C-alpha cells in the first residue's frame, strides 16, 4: 500500500517537473527554427513522461487490487523513469531535482527485487 501511495506521489512530481521544463524549453531564445526544434523535443519528452506516469498509475491501482502483474508494470515504470533521468543528468540539471525524481524508481527497484518480502 505504501508503494502505491509513493507511485501516485511520483506521478504528481513528474507532472510538475515536466510542466516546468516544458515552459522553459518553449520560452527559450533563438531564431525561428531553433525554438521550433526545441518545442518538438519538449513534446517528445512530455510524451515519455506521460507514458511513465501512466505506468505508475496502473502499478498503483494494480498494487492496491493485489494483481499478479503489478510487479512487471512497476518494473517497467521504474526503468522508464530512470531512462528519463539520464538526459537530465547529462544536461547538468540541478542535483536536488534529479535526486527527488530519481529516488522513488530506485526504491521501487529495490522493493521489487525481493518479491517474497512484499507479500
Each residue of 27-59: pLDDT tens digit?
Answer: 556 556 566 777 777 777 788 888 999 999 999
Do the domain assignments include residue 47? yes
pLDDT of 77 reads 92
Do the domain assignments include residue 119? no
pLDDT of 62 reads 93
* pLDDT for 17 beyond 90: no
* pLDDT for 102 beyond 80: yes
Mean pLDDT calculated for residue range 4-12: 87
> What is the distance between the alpha carbons of residues 108 and 73, in angstroms, rounded to a whole number?
11
Do the domain assignments include residue 68? yes
Phi-psi region of 92 (alpha: psi -120 to 50; beta: other; left: phi over 0): left
Do the domain assignments include residue 118? no
How many domains is the chain partitioned into structurally? 1
Do the domain assignments include residue 11? yes
Do the domain assignments include residue 78? yes
Whole-prediction pTM: 0.77
Which domain range does residue 9 map to?
2-113
Amino acid at each position: 500500500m505504501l508503494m502505491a501511495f509513493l507511485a501516485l506521489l511520483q506521478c504528481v512530481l513528474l507532472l510538475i517537473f515536466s510542466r516546468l521544463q516544458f515552459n522553459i524549453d518553449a520560452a527559450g531564445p533563438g531564431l525561428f527554427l531553433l525554438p521550433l526544434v526545441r518545442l518538438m523535443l519538449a513534446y517528445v519528452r512530455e510524451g515519455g513522461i506521460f507514458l511513465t506516469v501512466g505506468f505508475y498509475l496502473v502499478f498503483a491501482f494494480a498494487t492496491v487490487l493485489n494483481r499478479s502483474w503489478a510487479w512487471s508494470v512497476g518494473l517497467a515504470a521504474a526503468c522508464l523513469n530512470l531512462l528519463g533521468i539520464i538526459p537530465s543528468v547529462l544536461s547538468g540539471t540541478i542535483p536536488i531535482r534529479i535526486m527527488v525524481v530519481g529516488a522513488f524508481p530506485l526504491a521501487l527497484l529495490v522493493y521489487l527485487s525481493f518479491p517474497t518480502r512484499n507479500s
